Amino acid sequence: MDPSPHPVPVRHPWRKPLLIIEFTALAVLVGSMALLGKMNVGDPPLNPVWLLIPALASLVVFTSFIGLMYLRWVVAARAEALWRHKLIFALLALTLLSVWLYGVANTWLAINAG
């Protein structure tokens, strides 16, 4: 039996601010979606500029999530596996941002077409 305690991972200084940003943006996103759901009930059409609030909030949620993912996967990786972690992280980050951009573009095009 090994009497030495396991090393406690050191918290990165960006972790707490990224968590605060992510959950604040998530609250703004949920609140704006609820507000937009109530605003769209009336006769006058909704101004598409209002959609910038949830779009930007979701972008902030994604980017802070990607930042936290970077801290967890790349910064904490061992030196011999660092290049693999960076490659996987880059592919996943690119995929997440591409899906976000695709969703925002499709929503914008659907609103302007109708």
Is 3 a residue whose pLDDT tops 70? Answer: no
Q: How confident is the model at residue 85 (pLDDT cuts 50, 70, 90)?
A: very high
Q: How confident is the model at residue 12 (pLDDT cuts 50, 70, 90)?
A: confident
Query: Pick the residue with more confidence: 114 or 30?
Result: 30
Q: How far apart are CA 114 and CA 45, in angstroms?
A: 11
Predicted local distance difference test score (pLDDT) of residue 93:
96
Segment 25-84, tens digit of pLDDT: 999 999 999 998 888 666 677 787 888 999 999 999 999 999 999 999 898 888 888 999
Q: Identify the CA nearest to 69 among candidates 12, 10, 8.
A: 12
Structure tokens at 41: 């009930």
Q: How far apart are CA 47 and CA 31, in angstroms?
A: 17
Is 14 a residue whose pLDDT tops 80? Answer: yes
Predicted local distance difference test score (pLDDT) of residue 7:
62
